[in-house]
Amino acid sequence: MLGGISTHDAEWNYLMGSVYWRKNWMDEAARYFRTAATMDPGNVEYRNAVNYMNRGGQAYRPYNMGGQMTESDACSCCAQAYMADCCCEMMGGDLIPCC
């Protein structure tokens, strides 16, 4: 979708960097993040992306997209949903209609 946009401004470069980061193409992601930060040096989000990429890129999560979900993340998510459902049922509601 981004390829069809003719205006390649700082935000476009940041979004392209985010796409490449999600694909785990770190060199391309870093290049786009650097371009975005150069085009709009006052944007903290763009500078943060460049800084994270300079430290290896594995800790960066553009737009809070997160990385790959691990098995423990999925278990934690399910456990939290189960506990919320139990609390709601104790108070007369039903948060999760079926599981």
Residues 30 and 78 in one domain: no
Judge if 63 and 75 occupy the same domain: no
pLDDT digits 0-9 by tens, 35-73 = 999 999 999 999 999 998 888 755 555 554 555 555 555
**Which tens digit of pLDDT belongs to each residue from 2-32?**
778 888 899 999 999 999 989 989 899 999 9
Same domain, 53 and 87: no
Distance in angstroms (rounded) separating the CA atoms of residues 93 and 97: 10
One domain for residues 46 and 88: no
- 58 lies in which domain range? 2-68
Which position has the higher pLDDT, 93 or 3? 3
Phi first, then psi, for residue 8 (nearest 5°) are: -105, 75
Contact 31, 46 (CB under 8 A): no
Structural contact between residues 30 and 50, judged by C-beta atoms closer than 8 angstroms: yes
Rounded to whole angstroms, how far apart are CA atoms 22 and 58?
A: 10
What distance in Å separates the CA atoms of residue 75 and residue 66, rounded to the nearest whole number?
A: 16
| Total tally of structural domains belonging to the chain | 2
